């Protein structure tokens, strides 16, 4: 009688282990799918430009432009400065409207 109960217990343990193993496999497949999705997104990104060769002062400026994109930073700075100036003008206009 005891061996029958032990075999039932063994079957139940193995069934629970099989369920746990299936859960782990599902999680592993989800992680692999997320990794493939991230790799696909990275593959869609543009490649970095080639590093310019340093031979003269002009190429030194090219190196600096490659390392630090100053033109983009200046454009963003002036865009934000313009937006702030427009905000100040709109605020003044709204104060005048409120005063009337």
The DSSP element (H or E) to which 71 belongs, if any, is helix 70-99
Question: What's the whole-model pTM score?
Answer: 0.41
Task: Pull the structure tokens for residue 38.
Answer: 């991230």
Full pLDDT tens readout for the chain, 100 residues: 778 888 888 889 999 999 999 999 999 999 999 999 999 999 898 887 776 565 666 677 777 777 888 888 889 999 999 999 999 999 999 988 887 6
Task: Return the C-alpha torsion angle 88, 89, 94, 97, nearest 10.
Answer: 150
Distance in angstroms (rounded) separating the CA atoms of residues 50 and 69? 14
């Amino acid at each position: 009688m005891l061996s029958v109960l032990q075999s039932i217990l063994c079957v139940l343990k193995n069934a629970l282990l099989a369920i746990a193993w299936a859960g782990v496999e599902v999680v592993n497949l989800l992680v692999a799918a997320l990794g493939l999705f991230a790799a696909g997104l990275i593959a869609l990104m543009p490649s970095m430009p080639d590093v310019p060769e340093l031979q003269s002062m002009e190429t030194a400026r090219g190196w600096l432009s490659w390392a630090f994109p100053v033109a983009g930073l200046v454009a963003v700075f002036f865009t934000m400065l313009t937006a702030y100036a427009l905000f100040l003008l709109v605020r003044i206009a709204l104060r005048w409207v409120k005063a009337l």
